Chain A
């Protein structure tokens, strides 16, 4: 035990001397949490609407003003059609409208396969109906009386008739992740980076193999097991440290309510085992430290994408959601969602925890087996 702890201590010191490791373990996740929380947390449910209007008439100008007043839309004026199309295609805008001279139809541009299309279309239609009240009433009345008299009567009526309003009541509570964008950013970056750094830890292991540390350990009375436990322990503690920093920032700086602390603790604990075991396994199968890094970064990003760390799995189709669940990240994400938004405790995330424990055990057994094989083969 003492030997394992001593090994862990040495690895821990080596880690803190590595500036890149410190940067990618501590600084980068914090920068990303900040950027994502600040960027995607603002603007609420407002959808972007691009407006192209070279020379609108009075009706068109009123329509644009009405759209600008709409709480559902954030209006940006465009002068270039290509730019408007590009931003709609990219999803930066919910849609666009082109307001020509009065009398010509207003063109509405939406991307069909987007949730924004319905909102944009109904909002623009509503705005057009609001703007059209006066014009319609004047046109209808002008059939009976001269236009000027009709217009005067309609303007008088517009002043006399109280507007027909819309009141809104909202039921239920906003979920923590909807209320606070950091409640989503912190756990997703935590999972992305603890796993990525766990994998990057493989480089140390390969280096040790190359330097013959394995063979030397086999020659000592402690054997390889002690060395590997120490190494695993140090990687596990680094993952825990990383998680603690991110969770601490979430709670203290961004006032995130992560929910049941015991459930959070168990989840972080099991996930850290997964991250360190995955790194040990990678360390057993690659040949050089360069190869370890070359595989670790793309694998970490890919697993993060599949598992819902880059975007919530609720926005992808059922097939990709099912595929995503081959990764531990997806199961951990489900568990985080239950703990943060549904107030689940350890029992509430029992199923997810069981799967995650199976991942952890499976990876650890595989890693130990593969490393033992390498050591016996003298590599």
Chain B
């Protein structure tokens, strides 16, 4: 029996490798699409925000604040002085500045007396990011000034000998919470996300095609001739199953190696990656066999495969990784979404084999379960 399985699988494999459509879908499409996504996002997004500082107070305190801010900046945020605060709306609207922080008239006096004062931020409706940055900066300035105000009032209350020196110390002392920039470990390559995602979408078509060939061969009469020979129906089914799994694993492994070795998209621990590839292919093969087993005609199987593949691709996050909410929840219910989550764990979280094992087992379980039902149905209806 195993000899027949091997022969049938090898024959199918040979025919698949000669089929240009399979090469386009299995290799060219995932690699090309991953390359385009990689090129689109290789430079990342850079923040480029210019915030104007308008000093309407012109007191010693407001001038110090303005000077302190214009000397700061970095991380894509630049500060520059705006000569006339009355122009704030106009310069923001025209785009000269992305946002303006106004130090209002009477600010210096309010800091010393503890009276009412409000910093003002002018932002543009179309530039929420810049407005958000300006608000944060103004909040930081207000908090520093508030520290000086509170210190001044408290110093007066306890009868401090030199309140001025205390205020000075409060303003210049290191903050109680120091902030350091840490390093984000691990890497995430958009290519290492889109390549397997797109590869899995097209695997549905390729593997579906392979599984469907059982029905096509029945309709064309070749299956009857095979079964007339001393070949058991199980050998035919197993041979086809082995064929589609080998084609799938070969195709995805090739995509992995091309994007990894050729374009430096690191997918993570190689053993883990290979296991996830095998598990994903088994799951897709199982679902394809189930669809083929349940369909009445080859055309129906083709239609169902396309619909299922596209729905899984959309729900599984093949086209957008940065989604939260509904899409992120839906993803868990698709085999490709589970496989993508495992790939992301391997690449971006530097997970090891043990960490992705639960998902691998889940995918294998889905694959074996659906394949069993599909094969039984095929045995009963197509090979009977």
Contacts and interface: CB of A to CB of B under 8 A. Distances in A.
Given A85-B349, A136-B170, A298-B24, A111 B44 contact: yes
B44 A113 contact: yes
Interface in A20-73: 20, 23-24, 28, 31-32, 35-36, 38-40, 42-45, 47-48, 59-60, 63, 70-72
B84 interface: no
A128 B179 contact: yes
Contact of B155 (A32, A48, A122, A141): A141
B24 A133 contact: no
B270 interface: no
A310 B319 CA distance: 8
Contact of B131 (A36, A129, A170, A301): A170
Given A122-B140, A136-B176, A317-B43, A90 B344 contact: yes
A170 to B, nearest CB: 5
B121 A169 contact: yes
A117 B175 contact: no
Contacts of A221: none
Interface stretch (B180-188, B245-253, B271-279): B180-188
Interface stretch (B158-166, B234-242, B257-265, B361-369): B158-166
Contacts of B89: 169, 171
A164 B146 contact: yes
Nearest to B168: A140
A110 B184 CA distance: 7
Contacts of B320: 36, 39, 310
A132 B143 contact: yes
A66 to B, nearest CB: 10
B25 interface: yes
Contact of A172 (B126, B158, B184, B198): B126
Given A164-B146, A298-B29, A105 B179 contact: yes
B39 A320 contact: yes
B129 interface: yes
Contacts of A161: 114, 146, 149-150, 153
Q: How many of chain B's residues touch chain A, expressed as a range?
A: 35 or more
B324 A43 contact: yes
Contacts of A63: 177
B229 interface: no
Interface string A100-136: 0010011111111111111101111111111111111
A310 B151 CA distance: 54
A114 B149 CA distance: 36
Nearest to B318: A301
A248 interface: no
B184 A113 contact: no
A119 B182 CA distance: 16
B158 A89 contact: no
Contact of A164 (B36, B118, B136, B182): B118
A117 B120 CA distance: 23
Contacts of A294: 20-22, 24-25, 205
Nearest to A164: B142
B133 to A, nearest CB: 5
Given A135-B176, A140-B170, A172 B33 contact: no
Interface of A: 19-20, 23-24, 28, 31-32, 35-36, 38-40, 42-45, 47-48, 59-60, 63, 70-72, 82-83, 85-86, 88-92, 96, 98, 102, 105-119, 121-137, 139-141, 143-145, 149-150, 153-154, 156-158, 160-175, 178, 288, 290-291, 293-295, 297-298, 301-302, 305-306, 310-311, 315-317, 319-320, 323
8 contacts: A28-B314, A71-B135, A82-B351, A118-B77, A121-B75, A129-B175, A170-B122, A171-B93
